[in-house]
Structure 1
Amino acid sequence: MGKLFGIEVSTSKGDIGAGIADMLTTALINSNHFIVYERSVLDQLQKESQIGNQAQQLQGAEILITGTITAFEPDAGGTRGGGGGLIGGLLGAVTGGQKKAYVAVDFRAVDVRTGAVVAAFRVEGEASDTDFGGLLGALVPGAALGGALSQYQKTPMGKALAVMVGKAVEELIRRIPPSYFKYGPDGQPVPQPAK
């Protein structure tokens, strides 16, 4: 595991950026490679600690992840068509189509202490879905999305977002320098170089 403090997706897309930040935060936590500190609830944490008369022991950030949405195309293209076929043992005419969606985000991992960018990369997510009269929507449900992204649940864009976030986590694990990781896969502290 490594320590990762602060998740921010800055974009002109507003609520969509916040939704992607939430997805990324969850994916980073679930990767078991990062300790994620939720700064968006800092006021709540302070109030709760005062109510319980507890001293807060907040740690400073080591890495800040920022991102800018550079492409967000829920209807990136597609085709429509029709024909006869055999589905589930029933012969009949089927009208169908393929819908495509595309999303791209430029990410940066910034060392909070020095301001140095330690990793920068672009991640894309693309998905298509074939819609046979709504049949495929029932067979291939999309990822659960909340907030401004809920309208894309069970759509190609929902799938494209999930693909993009998965790739982002993989790239962060691969590109953040090993010196930032404080614990190994076994949960034991990693020896740090002398300063």
Structure 2
Amino acid sequence: MKRYIFILLFMYVAVGIYAQRKVIEVEPATASQSETAKTLKRKVAIGRFSNETQYAKGLFYDKENDPMGKQALDILSAKLAASGKFILLERNDMDKLLAEASTSDGGFQKIGADYLIVGSITQFGRKNIGDAKLFSTTKTQIVEAAVSIRLIDVSTGLIIYSDEAKGDAEEKTKTTMGLGGRADFDATLSDKAISAAISQLVENIINKCTNKPWRAYFLSYDNDAVIVSGGASQGISVGDVFAVKSKGKTVKNPQTGINIELPGKTVGKVEVVSVGGDTPEAEYSMVTFKEGNIDGSKLQDYYIEEIK
């Protein structure tokens, strides 16, 4: 009997050790599955953020230095930068470029970005609500704002996303028999209301910009080097491999009158051998062809694209 119990105990311990060993062997494979894919940053320029409301527009109002418009632009820039998916470009001549883009073909491409954001504050207001009872008084400050945003694909000049969102912020104070806090004018409520509206649009902006594969373009092609746009700040590093594509045919939609570029054809692959440039606008990468080739006299007919 004792011998039988000893054999059972031995088998139980052996099975336990074997099961534990099997679990330990599985752990490295599980950890390797958590690796995340590399993300290439898009270049985004915020063209302007105008105040289309009548709020704070007095006799000496300066449209070029509108505090609410700058406030909204700074909030949007901060939220996009925090996502880690974009390089934000500042262009002092943006108004001039936007004017050229509206009157000439390919004008948007002079902006030097992948996407352009144009926004406006379409609604803004403040109100105070009071509630007086026998022994207490409640006062609430409420700020409401509405923000409209358009996202433009610079390569085509088409608006790929347009939406409006509303946000609000409030501060409530209560006094009882004359005791308690007082609700003085709170300037930060406008920040919070505009931020709340923009927050509802940021995720859609990020998704629209990253849905389309990252692209770059050929800058130079000769015996000395093949150079493409984009560099280290966008996440490009030595050894990266990209597909080379020829631009697809452009056709006109008879229903809308808009030109549509059809998908391009893969004609080769390139590998990054070095990166350079001092600023995001001036960055470049030197590449070599791993597969295929292109006509060096027609660089405008080709582009490189991330391989997903």
TM class by shorter-chain length?
A: 0.5 to 0.7
- Which residue does 1:3 correspond to in 2? 43
Query: Which secondary structure state, in structure 2, belongs to the residue aligned with residue 125 of structure 1?
Result: strand
Identify the residue that residue 162 of structure 2 maps to in structure 1: 120
- Quick one: percent identity of the two aligned structures? 25
Normalised by the length of structure 1, the TM-score is: 0.63
Aligned-pair distance for 1:20? 0.9
1:24 to 66, 69, 76: 76
* C-alpha separation in 2, matches of 1:191 and 1:137: 59
> What do the CA deviations read for 1:88-123 (whole angstroms, capped 9, x no partner)?
xxxxx4421222211111110012232100111112
| Structure 2 gaps, min length 5 | 1-40, 54-62, 95-110, 216-234, 247-308
Which ranges in structure 1 are unaligned for 5 or more consecutive residues?
Answer: 43-58, 85-92, 139-150
| Contact 1:7/1:21, CA 8 A, preserved across alignment | no
Contact 2:148 2:163 in 1 (8 A): yes
Alignment of 1:120-159 (within 5 A): 120-132=162-174, 135=181, 152-153=187-188, 155=189, 157-159=190-192
Alignment partners' CA distance in 2, 1:121 and 1:136: 38
Conserved 8 A contact 1:8-1:64? no
State the Cα distance separating 1:19 from its structure 2 match. Answer: 1.9
Task: For 2:45 and 2:78, locate their aligned partners in 1 and report how far apart those are by CA, in whole Å.
Answer: 13
Secondary structure of 1:64 counterpart:
strand
State TM-score, norm by structure 2: 0.42
Q: 1:110 aligns with which of 136, 143, 152?
A: 152
Cα distance change of structure 1 residues 63 and 180 upon mapping to structure 2, 3 Å threshold = farther
Distance 2:167 2:131 in 1: 25
What does 1:176-187 align with in structure 2 at a 5 Å threshold? 176=209, 178-179=211-212, 181=214
Aligned length in residues: 153
Q: Which letter does structure 1 place at the counterpart of 2:48?
A: E
Q: Which residue does the alignment assign to 2:126?
A: 74
Equivalent pair of 1:74/1:102 in contact (CA under 8 Å): yes
Shift of 1:30: 1.5
Is 1:3–1:180's contact at 8 Å kept on the other side of the alignment?
no
Two-structure CA RMSD over aligned residues (Å): 3.5
- The higher-RCO structure (CA 8 Å, 6+ apart) is 1
Determine the C-alpha separation between the residues in 2 that align with 1:6 and 1:72: 21
Partners of 1:190 and 1:26 in 2: how far apart?
31
